[in-house]
Every structure is written in structure tokens, then in C-alpha cells.
A and B are shown apart, each in its own frame.
Chain A
């Protein structure tokens, strides 16, 4: 029972932390670009403001358009609840493994793209078309990277995988290096960051995510934005706990959990810093160069898996 309560609290923390993560990256980016940025807690104000505003719905919108924000947000929350963040001792990880996690992310994307197609404007269709194209290339790479980790731990359960990584001796396995590189590239693409998509743009020729949610307003928009922030945080947590798993609590003791909270917060803030640097240092790619980027991610993940099978299986 303690485990379930802890899992709920942990999910709540991640959901509440997500806007800060997005604001933190934005703030760092502004600082790096010599701009006066909004404070990191600005997203909380935005979400609050949006949730109070009236919803304006297009005449041609169908019920899909209205339920999509709720589905997208609640599926993302459930996806966040199965990821070990502070401690690996969460019972929810047994409900859904890493393949289900990928399935959840695909489910949110399915409804997000449908919502983009719903109103019948060119922008929405454009955004949906690009989103499904990019993610249909990214998803195999993501699964391959996850499979390499799963084969290493001989389990697809996220708790077991992270516990295995944290408890094993520090050895530079080639499989883990390749698949982490592939995973980072996929994470950039899937969370809609530069060089695939630009979260700050509203220029019609470059938008992907923003184009799909262009028709949203009020609390629906707030949910869509929050789900996107949550997805960013989720990927950041996964990168942190896969690549530098040390610090995550192995038990449910208060001291260990406190250290887990402290370590994951530090890791996320540092990751945000790296993301801000990467987004400042490079420009957005043309859409039709994205397949090369994702192809690289796929090859890296596949190399990781091959090197695991060929070199590391004893």
C-alpha cells in the first residue's frame, strides 16, 4: 500500500514539476542568448491564465477535438506514473513495461494528430502529417534503444532495468553508449525540440507541434501545453535514470527517497542546461533532413543492440 501511495505522490510531483522544467530551459536559453527571459515559473502563470480563459471552439470541430486534450493529458500522466523517478520501488512499473510506455506515447500522438486534422484547416493537417512522419521514424529507434536496455537487464520492466543499471559496476558497455546516443536524438525529435521542431516558433512553414494545437484555446490549450511539458520532463527523467542512474533510491526509506529527490532534481536541472546550450548552438533543420537525423538515431540504436548480442552475451 505504501508503494502505491508513494507512486501517486511521485506522479504528482513530476506533473507539478513539469512546467518548471520547461520554464527553466526557456530561461536558460534566454540567458545564453543575452535576452531578458521570463522567470522559470512563468509556465505556471500561463497555465493558470489559460485554464481561467473561455474556450473558443471552431464551428467545424467535432467531439474528438474536445476529448483529445483530456486523453492526451491523462495518458501522459499515466505514462509518467510508471517511470521510476525517485525510487525504483514503485508497484505501478509492473503494470506497464517499457513497450507499453512507447505505446502510451504513440496513443497521445494519435489523438494529438487527430485533433490537428479535426477542424479542417490547412495548418492542422500540415502539423499532423509532419508529426506522424517524424514519429514513425523515431519510434523504431526508440524501441530499439529500449530493447537494448531491456536485453541488458533481461527484463522490460522499467524498475528492474533502472535498478540493474544503477547496481551494476561502472563498465562502459558499447551497447549502452550507442543506444543512449540514439535515445537522446530520438528524445529531441519526440519532444519537438531543435533541430527537428522549434517550440518557440509560430512561423507556418516550420511548425509541427504548434500547428496541431493552433486551434486550441482556454483550458484545452492549457492541457495540451501541460502534456507537452510533461512529455519533455518524462524524456529527461528517462535519459537521467538510464545514463546516470546513480542516486535513485532502491528502497522506500525516507532518507533514500530524499536523496533520490535531490539527485533527480540536480540531474534534470543539468540536463535542462545541456538542452538550452544545444538549442542555442544549432539551427532548426529542414523537414526533409529530419529523416537523416532520425536514420542516424535508428542506426545508433541498432548498433547498440547488435553490439549487445554479438559482444556482450555470454
Chain B
């Protein structure tokens, strides 16, 4: 076996994904062939990278290579270690399912106003960029890969550019990606100033003063946070995710946000080398705010994909809560709990990638069939699309953190870490962790509420519009991708011990200590700290649930008696037949929560009295405070400054020539 096998596989995965991007150059005129070939290559690339990542994680080996390309004194360093291997696995796996899902999903775009080649070109580049980010081991190639990822995804968001809202969403995304990229560049700049080269290996050994370390940390926190979508830097997510094609939304939300988390973990745990508890507190607070605000904003949405985008903000918040707890314990020297919280955060990265891709795939299938973005016009789809409905239900249960599915395990681990708060022996910090866990509990409960709303309004009840009533089940490839992801949600939920033992290697590498006892009582029992403290046996629970279900079923089910189910109309209070408009809508479902937490949103609710034979009209608009308070003023300020600066632009050729002349004089004065 080749000693550099993981790295070779990873490189070939990147090469194949690049190849999939180049397919449109050759098959521009045969769109069906083009789609097949490029998605096949994408799927192969996904498989190879999942294999490479899993291999790097399970063998616990770091492999690196220096490629002599680029500038003469700046070689490209590539490295795969368990941390990047773990994220490589996530990217590869989700890409693989997206490659199953994509071909039939984008079929409706063939022959449409937008060339299909653009979509496959940038999908390939996007995946290539993400994989390269994970493999890069020097700041220079990291930034190049990062920008490839950002720009390629910009073109994907802007794919259907005939609509003004899509263009503005894509522009906002590009703007924030560029600003975020600049922050990351500055963060690397600080590190590079204290080390002798741009490679991560030499950056990791740099000795920073606490002030410079904090500056670098803050720059990285903002830069990676902008891509990950923490509050208040989240505003691009709810705009960009709904307008991208659904398999791209799944990749962006399920995977690209994780790449940002990878960057943050790599920077803070690996490169900075020091840790301060104040940083952990900041991460914890921002994470808690993102989680709660993300889910509250999601509750008020009735565009299905926008709602899911806000849930990404929530889940990124949960991941940051785990990271914050880990950083606090790390800085105060409680390494084992720090490892537990880091494992919880990483586990949630994996889980979020699985269930969020699943939900975006389901949402895409619903959109493709119903041609509706608005949940208020859906309903009753479980009868039209049973497979999609069951998979979506699994996604809903997983994201709501309910046992025995995967979302529950990572939140359970986060709670276990937060419950170790008293060992900190510090009043403020000790109080911070329970409050964060309270926020996590509130988030979980509100997420359950939100997904009851989503599932109840979209899949249950009666269809609210004629298109929805005529919906059909999605194609085989789309169903297959969803079924695979749904099964993974269950598998990672009931076999948590194996996953935790695999991720444990990363904690050992980054923190120095792992969880020694996580699987100490056999693979059936997850015991993160010790059997006496807490244990969770997911498979046995699932078995117990099935057993009690069967017992109840056979006790109650009339095998002998003639007691068949009679089908009749629903109870209509004697007022005549029920219509779909009598059902609770998404807005009315969330109304009590809107009223209770009313200060969280800017609510614009109007009732116009009816006149000229028309009935009264009710309108409800809910705005994001972050947008109104932070972004609108910044936008106005920039516009104002730009107007001032436009005075320079007189339109007179002589003035422009004099500008060049004086600039030249100034530069000569500076140099000489």
C-alpha cells in the first residue's frame, strides 16, 4: 500500500472534480450527455474524497506533499490529517449524494434560458475549491482555494440571473464573501508576520504576544464567521440559499458552512497555539445568539428554503456553542472536557451536513413538483410524494434533536460538556455555561415547533393550491439521494460510539487529550465521561421502542374481530364541507410565538379596511433587525461616501491627466 494513499486519493478527487467542471467545454451541444458525464465525475470525486477523508481519519496519519508550482519562493503545501480528513469525508459524502440528486433535478433547466454548462462548470469548480481549502497547508494556497470556492458559489447563486432578487442576493453574497476573505487574509497576515513563511507548519510555531494573538483571533472569527453565518453576519444566507438550485443549496448549507468551521478550528486550535478563555466566552455568546435568533427567524418564514437557511444559522450557532465551551475548558486546563465539547461540535458538523442536505433535497423535490416557494400554498404532499415525505420527516426529527436520530446525540454531548461547568470554580464562567445550555434547550424546543410547522403545513393537511394537488413523486435519483441521507441520519444516531471514537483522534491531535472512556463499556454504550456520570444506549432504545410498538399493536389490533377502519368525512361542526382555506397556515401556526417574542423581529402588520366591494386586506411582513440596524446604515454610509468621492470624476480629460501627473510626482517623491 502506498504510504501517501489518502493524499493521492484526495488529489485525484480534486482533479476529477476539476475535470467535471471542464466537461461543458467538450459537450456544449449535448446537454443530456453533458449533465450525465459531469455529475458522474462529480460523484466519483465525492466517493474518492469520502474515502480519502475516512482513511485519513481512521488511520490517524498526516500526509503531506509540496508541489513545486506557483511562485518560485512560494510552493503549494498540501496536507491531509485527521481534522481535514473528517471534513473531507463530509464534503465528499454530501457531494456524492448531490451527484445522485442533481441530474434529474436540473433537467428542467435544459433548454431553458440559462445554459446548463454554466451550472455544471461552477458546480465542479465549487467542489474543487472546497476540497482544496481542506487540503491547503499554507496561507497562500488556502486563500486561493477559498476565493475559488466563494466566486464559484457566487455564480451558482446568480445562475437564474433574470430575476432582480436573485441578482441582489448574489451580489450581497459576493460582497460578504469578499469582505470575509479580506478578514481571513489579514488574520493570516498577522500570523505570517510572526513566522518565517506562509506554511501552516511554521505559522503553528510562531510566538505571538497576547494582544496580537487576540487581534488575529478576532480577524479570523469575523472572517470565518461571515462565511459560516453567525449572527449578525448571517444576512447573506437567507437571501442566497433560496435562489440557488436546491442541490447547490444543500452543498452550500450542508458543506460550505462546514468548510468555514474547519477554517476556524484549524486557525484557533492548530495555528494560534494559545487559548484564552475570553475568546471562548465570545464564541459561546455569539453561538448562543446565533442559535436562538436563527431559530426564531426561521419560525417566521414561509418560504421553505429561506426557512431552512435560517436553520443553518441556528445549527452553526449550536456548533459554535460547542466550540466556545471547548475553548473555555481548554484555556482553563480541563482538557478532557474540552475534548468532549470539541467532539460534540464536530459531531454536530457531520450531523448538520447530513440532515440539512436531506432537507434541502426534500425542499428541492417539493419545489420542482409544485413550482411553489411559498409554504402557504402547499399541503397534503405526503400522499403525492410518500418517499420524499418519509425522508423529510426523518430530517425534521433529526434537526429537532429528538432521539434516537443523529441530531440528538451531538446536542446530548454538548449538554454533557456544559454540565461539567462547576469544575471551573469560577462564578462568572460557571454561570455562563448553564445559561448557554438554557439557550440550547430553548433552541431545541423552538426548532421542534418550527419543524412541526414545516411538516404539518407542507406535507400534511389538504393541498392549498391546484399545482400542489397535482404533484408527483420525485425521480429515482432524487429519491435515492434522500433515502441514503435519511438512513445515515438514523445510523449516526444509533451507533454514536463508533463515530465518537473516530472523531476522538482529532481531539487527541488538537488538544492533546481525548475521551478515554467514551466507549469504555462496549460499543453499545456512549459514556463520554464515565458510566456513573452519563450513558446513552441508542440501539437498545430503538429496540425498546420497536418492541413496545409491536406489543401494543398486537394487543390492540383486531385480528379476529370484524373491526375494520371506517373512512368518513372530518368533523366540520355541522357547517358544511371543510375547505383547504380553513386550515391553519404557517403564519397562523407561528402566531402565538410571534406574539410572545415580538421584540425579536421588526413586525409590519397591517389591516386595510375593505372598500368598493373588496374585502379587507391583511398583510404581514417580518424583517430582520440585523439588516435594518446594521446593514442598511452601512449601505447608506457607503453610498454617501461614494457620492463624495464621485466629485473626483469630473469627466474632463485634462483633470484626469493632471491626476496621473500629480500621482507620478508624489510617487517619485516617495521613492527618491
Q: Which of A287-305 contact B (CB under 8 A)?
A: 287-288, 291, 298, 302, 305
> Does A246 count as interface, using CB distance less than 8 angstroms?
no
- Give every chain A residue within 8 A of B549 (Cβ-Cβ): 70-71, 74
B537 with A96: CB separation less than 8 A: yes
Binding-face segment, B109-117, B246-254, B439-447, B616-624: B439-447
B593 within 8 A of A: yes
Chain B residues in 8 Å Cβ range of A139: 441-442, 444-445
**Chain A minimum-CB-distance residue to B592:** A133
8 Å CB interface, B537-580 against A: 537, 540-541, 544-545, 548-549, 552-553, 556-557, 563-572, 578, 580
User: How many CB-defined contacts (below 8 Å) exist between A and B?
Assistant: 254
B531 within 8 A of A: yes
Chain A residues with CB below 8 A from B459, complex form: 62
Assess whether A310 is in contact with B431, with CB atoms less than 8 Å apart.
yes
Chain A residues within CB distance 8 Å of chain B: 51-52, 54-64, 70-71, 73-75, 77-78, 81, 92, 94-97, 99-100, 103-104, 106-107, 109-110, 113-114, 116-126, 128-130, 132-133, 135-140, 143-144, 147, 150-151, 154-157, 160, 214-215, 219, 222-223, 287-288, 291, 298, 302, 305-306, 308-310, 313
Asked if residues A155 and B460 are in contact (CB atoms below 8 Å), the reply is no
Which B residues between 345 and 400 are near A, CB-CB below 8 angstroms?
379-380, 382-383, 393, 397, 400
Q: Please determine whether A113 and B532 come into contact, CB atoms closer than 8 angstroms.
A: no
Asked whether B456 lies within 8 Å of A117 as measured between CB atoms, the reply is: yes
Q: Which residues of B contact A (CB under 8 A)?
A: 379-380, 382-383, 393, 397, 400-403, 408, 412, 415-416, 419, 421-422, 425, 427, 430-431, 434-435, 437-438, 441-442, 444-446, 448-449, 451-453, 455-457, 459-462, 525, 531-537, 540-541, 544-545, 548-549, 552-553, 556-557, 563-572, 578, 580, 582-584, 588-593, 595-596
Inter-chain contacts of B533 with A (CB < 8 A)? 154-157
Q: B401 and A313: CB pair below 8 A?
A: no
Rounded to whole angstroms, the CA-CA distance of A116 and B461 in the bound complex is 9
User: Does B582 lie within 8 Å of A128, measured CB to CB?
Assistant: no
Q: Closest CB of chain A to B444's CB: distance in Å?
A: 7
Complex CA distance for A310 and B380, rounded to whole angstroms: 52
Shortest 8 CB-CB distances between A and B: which pairs?
Answer: A125-B584, A117-B456, A120-B461, A132-B449, A58-B570, A139-B445, A136-B445, A74-B548
- Shortest A256–chain B CB gap in Å is 22
B569→A59 contact, CB < 8 A:
yes
Q: Do A122 and B584 have beta carbons less than 8 Å apart?
A: yes
Smallest CB separation, A171 vs chain B (Å): 18
Given contacts A129-B592, A151-B419, contact A59 B570 (CB under 8 A): yes
- Residue among B434, B455, B537 making CB contact with A309, cutoff 8 Å: B434
Chain A hits for B556, CB < 8 A: 51, 219, 222-223
A306, B421: Cα distance in complex, Å: 11
Q: Taking CB as reference atom, which chain A residue is nearest B568?
A: A56
User: Is B593 a contact partner of A136 (Cβ separation < 8 A)?
Assistant: yes
User: A154–B460 Cα gap in the complex (Å)?
Assistant: 43
A288–B380 Cα distance when bound, in Å, is 30
Q: How far is the CA of A97 from the CA of B538 in the complex (A)?
A: 11
Cα distance A215–B541 when bound, in Å?
30
User: Is A60's CB under 8 angstroms from B448's CB?
Assistant: no
CB distance from A49 to the nearest CB of B (A): 13
A-B contact pairs, 7 of them (CB 8 A): A54-B565, A78-B545, A124-B584, A125-B456, A136-B593, A156-B419, A309-B427
Q: Are A56 and B461 in contact (CB under 8 A)?
A: no
Give the residues in chain A near B452, CB-CB below 8 Å.
Answer: 110, 113-114, 117, 128, 132
7 new A-B contacts, CB < 8 A, other than A60-B570, A107-B397, A125-B584, are A54-B563, A74-B549, A120-B461, A133-B449, A156-B419, A156-B533, A309-B422
